[in-house]
Structures are given as structure tokens and as C-alpha cells.
Amino acid sequence: MRLRKALGGAALSGLVLMAGSLGLAANNAVPPLPVNVIPRPARIEVREGTFTLSAATRILADPRALAEARYLAEKLGGGTGFKLPVKPSRQAASTSGTILLTTRRADPALGDEGYELVVAPDAVVLRAPRPAGLFYAVQTLRQLLPPEVDARTPVGSHTAWRMPCVRIEDRPRYGWRGFLVDSARSFHSKAFMLDYLDALAALKINVLHWHLTDSEAWRPEIRRYPDLVKPCSNTSWYTTQAEGCYSRQDIRAILARAKQLHIMIVPEIELPAHAAQAVAVIPGTICQTAEGQDLPPGVSEFCLGSDRSMEFLQNVLAEIVGLFPASPYIHIGGDEADDARWRKCPRCRARMQALGTDNPRVLQKGFVDRIARFVHGKGRTTVAWADHLDLGIPAGQVVHGWHGGEAQYAVQHGFSALSADNAFTYFDYPQVPAEPNGGWMPPLPLKQAYSFDPDPAGATPEQRRLILGSQAHLWATQQDHMYAKTFPRLLAFAEVVWSRGPRDLADFRRRLAADTARLAALGVSVGPEDRDLLQMSPYYDSASSSLGMRVVTGVPSIAVRYTTDGSAPTETSPLYADSIGFSGEGTIRMQAFFRGQPLGDPRTMAIRPSLARGRPYALTTPPSPRYLGTGPRTLTDGALGTLDFRDGLWQGWNGPDLEAVIDLGATQAIAAVEGSFQQTMRSWIMLPRDFTVWLSDDGTTWREAGTATHAQPAEREEPFLYLLTVPTPAGTRARWIKVRGRAYGALPGWHPGAGTPAWIFCDEIVVR
């Protein structure tokens, strides 16, 4: 990594730069910033000379600034090893050899989080109306020093701890500069969260939206319902609850650190959907069948007709309010509810009848309104994802927009909003089409994150004042690569929500490159700008009749180890592009490692024996370009896919039947023909209605071998794999095989995609 050099005074002698909304040129050109500060300050003047930090430097602070002064001493002591004393002081001006933090004589126009930072050759002054502004001045000061200052242990006496003489005036564009951490789907330890808060604070992020509950897991300890945080065997395919939970002591420790860092933590309790773990544990909160029996595990929504659901959620929220005393906001989710079960549940239907409606969305709105009133009655404000806004928004609620236009709709109707379009603020969200051979898609490109503008188009000044701010999001990401997924994108987002005026990507990238060493000193692993950390894409080589896994890494030091028989794993070389080839049969297990630690989930590839393996086939209708599998041999490459339909081993058809003719190359004895399919109902993927097989000796005349059907319900919630098998009588022989998987057709009325054609996904045609 390239280290940033300390900025000497001679090279900057006499240079004055005015940047941001307080001093832009008339043509809106963005002058390059002569110091490497992210986010870009509103106004900066670079003056002659440097200030040298030494062991003799003293830190002075007025009574309101002592906490920030001690924090500064702690941060400056890491890489330097200096034990800088902090002394209370009521003076409003600095003296030689001091760093002064003060709220005296501060310009009120800087607001609650603005600051002034003056570095002179003999002293440094940090001035702000409030302690939060001083805290952000400290973050800027840290970036003026050599990056090694942020190391956790002293780096030696060879470094000259100089910073350029500057005068900076700065204040944020938005008051809500947030980041969502999804600890429900992937657990993050208390120790990790404490360190991660430090990394967020260094970029002036001041809100942590903590996604604590979802279908996969319930993380916060609730005294009244202790079973919520215990591993639950009856939640079907949801399994992450066993990873861990947060005790009340854990949460208090994290909140204490956040308070020190001027970060507000907003807890999220998901309702009425994304709740499979809760409804599986709490009796009476799951919907029923028409016969009055509880639905099987895996249901994601609370039963809105059950008083137990409301009682449970109010009890939980009352504890959450007490557990998070400093947050004026409670996020209640509110998105992506499937109303299919509410339409059928006798309790929900009875509640709708009492309300005089047959629309389950009206039932949902009434339920969420009651929750909002309950939380507001506790002195807190609810925040909810924008969903079915046309039904109405509870009075006083903040709308969390996550698609384009939602925040605009909210402010036009007089509601406060967070403006966070997923096309710009979802760091795990793929923004480019899948590669032709399948594989994993890269996350949000840095350029796209930097181009985001939270202000709604066409909004009036009054409406813009209703935009509280914005936040970035990172969903379902394991702890071991949270940093590399967050950075460098978070630096781009931080500048979007802090800095005013036009932006220049080239200047930002220059400052980012110089800042890489500082992030490394902070212990932050920086991922690639526009590529995923790791892409593993299966392929089939028809020349050698072998399967392979193409490995593309976005950063050095990633290696993939694999085993075909459970013995000691082989390791690929840690190159930017490599591949692993396999022949034979069995199961291959692969695991990526980054700096010696597992990166992501293990990958498996099961290879089955088949008379059709490697044989060519002709399709009546080609698969979707989005799901081409391993290529033209996907259905006969021998590899079975996983429940992840994006794993690169599946071919998909949206609407038409799957029809294929396979040439075995010679007449052979055939005992059975199998089609391997999957159903992922929530992704519009359904099993075929049936699977028919025909046989031929000449490729022209066909005889039907049989049809396989199934009794799997279309409503089945969890993804599953399914084999449709057509056996043949003893002595059956043929060379050509024709198969047809008959499409499900239009999705039914209860499905969110009602009326649109379902997908068929097939990974293999096996001939035995």
C-alpha cells in the first residue's frame, strides 16, 4: 500500500483554497483539495508552515470539551506512543505548544455539528458551538497527520508528526448520516461492533441503524421472552439463530461506546413481516389454516388477527424503548409483507370482517398504526420502510425511502423522510447484469455510490427541510468481510451526506488513494471499488469433459482451498484469476480465505454419474441470458445446483416449457430419466407441473416413456430441490432422449407476482 507523506509547509507556501458551498468558483468547477480529507470540508485555507506534534504537546479543553479532548489524546497516542496530558482550561485562545478544544467564541452559524479548525505553526485550535462539532473537528485533525498516527501501537520515532497549517470551516449537509448493519442474518460480535463504530465515526457517520431481528434470527435479549434468542429447530431452513445474540450487558456496552463517538443507535424490530423466528417461538402469533391449525414453520408474517401478536410486539417494544434510552427513534420495519396467509387465515379474515374490508392491506395498515401509536406514546418516533404508501402513513412517522421517488412522495405529503435509494446506497446490491456463465455479481460500484443525491428532484425548500438525511446499507454480510464490503464505498457515501456543493470523482479518488494507508492503520480492510472481493463461477470444459470453478479475486491475498475426498485441502495460488478443474464424481468442497480467515460461506459442487454426462443437447427454447449456467452443457455437465439459484449451475426459463433433446451417442440400456428442479416461490421460481420423457432410436420416431408428477404445494415457502423421475421397463434401450418440463404458468392470485409467468429452473437431466 502506498503511504501518504506528511505535507510540508514549503510546498504549500502562500496557497489559499476555498472549497465547497462557501467558496466555489462561479462556473461550479471543483478545485482539487490540497490536503487529503474525507469528507471534503466546506471551506479550507492552506497557510504557510506546519505544526509538529510532540510528546511535549499539551491538550487544553473547556469543561464542555473534556470528553472530546480525552478522545483526541487517546487517538493521537496510538501510533505516536505519546501520553499527552489533558488539562481543563477556561481560556478561549491557544498558547504555544498546545491543542485547544473549546466551545467559546464559536460561530452559531456552524450549527450543532459544525466546527472551525485552525492549525498554526505554534498551536492548534478546535472550536465549535457544541461538543459534537469538536468531535468532528478531531476526525479532520487526524487526517492532517501522517496515516501512521492511527495505528493501535507505536510505530517508532522515525515519523515526523507534522500537519499543514490550515484554517477549516465545516458543517454537515444532513443531520442524519447513517449506516445499516444487518446483525440478524449474520451475527456480529460485541467486540466487532465496538471496533466498527470507531471506523464509522472516523468518517463522521452519526447514526447506526441496527437491524436486530429478521426471519433468520432474533438477536436482542428480551427478558419477558427468553426463548427468542435460543436456537430454534422448527424454523425450517432458517438457521442463523445459533450464531449468537446480544445480552442486555452487550447492548449497554455498545451503546456506551456509540455515545462517546456521537453515534445514535436506532434499533429495528421487524414487523409485520420478516418474522419467522419470532412466530415459530411465540405461541399464537402465526397464522392458521382454514381448518384452524397453525401453519408450518417458515411463515414470515405475524398473524394480524391474533391479539397475541399485538401483545407480544408491544411487550417487546416496551423493553426496547427501555434498553435504548438515548435513541429518539425506533425502526419498526414494515416492508415486504406477503398477504397470502392473511387472506386465508380465519382469525385475520374475522378481523377484516370486523373492519368492514376484505383487503388484507387495510388490516396491515391498522396493525402498523396501532404499533406506531404505542411507540409514540412511549415518547419515541417510529421509522418504517416505505411500503404501500398509498394506504396512508401513521401520523408522526418517518418514512425510510429505499427506492427512487419514495422520499419525494413522503415530503410532498408533509412527512419527514430518509432518502436512501437502493440503487445508490445498498453496498451489497448488484448493479450490473450477471455474466453469461452465471457466477456472482459485483456489489455497488464506488462511482455509483458517489453520484447519489439524496435531495428529491423538484422538491421545494420546505420539502427539502423534511429530508432528515440518508444512510447506506449492508445486508446479510458476515463479520469476516464486513470491512472490505463497506470500504471504500462508505467513504464515497460519507462525502455525499456531509459535503455540500458539486463533487469531483477524480479528486475524490486521489484523496481516497492517499487515505488507504490510514484505513490500514485503523485495521480496516479495504475492498475493491467495482468488483466483488471474490467471484467463484462454475464452468464446463467440453474438450476435457470436466467441470471447473473459475476464481476471480478483487484484492490480493485471497486463496481458495478445496478437497474432493475430505482429505487435506489443496490450495490455489492467490492470483487475481485462477481456476480449479475437476473430473470424476463426488462432492467438491471449496472455501476461500482472506488473510488466513474464512471468507464467505463454503461452496460445494456435487457431481453425479449419468449416461448423459457431457453429451450435447438441443433446446426448443433457449434459457434466459441471465441464467445460462455453465454453458451449453449445463443440463448434462453432471453438476447439481444448490438452493442458491444464482450459483451458476442452473438454467432458467421465464414462461415457456423446458424442452430438450439429448443425443447419448449410441444406443444404451436406460433404467430411468430424472429432471432436477428447484422451487423458490418468493423468487417466482416454481416446479414444473409435470415432467415427460420420450425415447427414440433414430432421433425421428418417438415413443413416450412416461410422465412424472408431484404433489408439492405452490405455497410452500422455503426453497427446496426436487427430482422428477420417469422409470422405464426392464430392457429399455434408446439413443435419443426428449424431455419436457411443463411450465407452471401464470403465478396465482395470492402470489406477489400474480398474473406474471413463473420461472422453471433445471440444473441437470440425469440418465441412469
The order of strands in the sheet holding 720-727 is: 651-654, 759-767, 672-679, 720-727
**What residues form DSSP beta bridges with 762?**
651, 677
Element (H, E) at 366: helix 360-377
Least trusted range by pLDDT, from 216-220, 550-554, 579-583: 579-583
| Residue 312: per-residue pLDDT | 98
Is the pLDDT at 106 greater than 80? The verdict is yes
Confidence bin at 6 (pLDDT 50/70/90): very low
| Residue 626: per-residue pLDDT | 85
Residue range(s) in the chain whose domain bears CATH number 2.60.120.260: 609-768
Q: Pick the residue with more confidence: 407 or 432? A: 407
| Residue 357: per-residue pLDDT | 95
- Compute the average pLDDT of residues 728-746: 96
Residue range(s) in the chain whose domain bears CATH number 2.60.40.10: 533-607
Say yes or no: domain 533-607 is CATH 3.40.50.300: no
The order of strands in the sheet holding 658-669 is: 617-619, 658-669, 733-742, 690-696, 703-708
| Residue 600: per-residue pLDDT | 64
pLDDT cut 90: percent of the chain above it: 67
The pTM of this model reads 0.77
Compute the distance between CA of residue 563 and CA of residue 570 in angstroms, rounded to an integer.
Answer: 6
Confidence bin at 595 (pLDDT 50/70/90): low
Confidence bin at 568 (pLDDT 50/70/90): low
Residue range(s) in the chain whose domain bears CATH number 3.20.20.80: 176-521
Burial of 194 (0-12, 13-18, 19+ CB in 10 A): middle
CATH code reported for the domain at 176-521: 3.20.20.80
Q: Which CATH architecture has domain 609-768?
A: Sandwich (2.60)
Least trusted range by pLDDT, from 9-13, 119-123, 402-406: 9-13
> Residue 340 in 3-state DSSP?
helix
- Compute the average pLDDT of residues 541-550: 80
pLDDT tens track for 468-527 = 999 999 998 889 879 988 999 999 999 999 999 889 998 998 899 888 888 888 888 888
Residue 392: other Cβ atoms inside 10 A: 12
Is the pLDDT at 149 greater than 80? The verdict is yes
Grid look-up 473549546 returns 102
Is the pLDDT at 699 greater than 80? The verdict is yes
Compute the distance between CA of residue 258 and CA of residue 243 in angstroms, rounded to an integer.
Answer: 23
Q: What angle do CA 574, 575, 578 make, to 5 degrees?
A: 105
| Residue 581: per-residue pLDDT | 64
pLDDT tens track for 322-335 = 999 999 999 999 99
Element (H, E) at 665: strand 658-669
| Residue 502: per-residue pLDDT | 86
CATH class of 10-170: alpha beta
Confidence bin at 131 (pLDDT 50/70/90): very high
pLDDT tens track for 374-418 = 999 999 999 999 998 988 999 999 999 999 899 999 999 999 999
Residue range(s) in the chain whose domain bears CATH number 3.30.379.10: 10-170
Contacts (Cβ under 8 Å, ≥6 apart) of 9: 48, 49, 50, 121, 164, 165
| Residue 495: per-residue pLDDT | 98
| Residue 1: per-residue pLDDT | 22
Compute the distance between CA of residue 660 and CA of residue 310 in angstroms, rounded to an integer.
Answer: 52
Confidence bin at 237 (pLDDT 50/70/90): very low
Cβ atoms of 93 and 119 within 8 Å: the answer is no
pLDDT tens track for 632-685 = 999 999 999 998 888 889 999 999 999 999 999 999 999 999 999 999 987 899
Confidence bin at 431 (pLDDT 50/70/90): very low
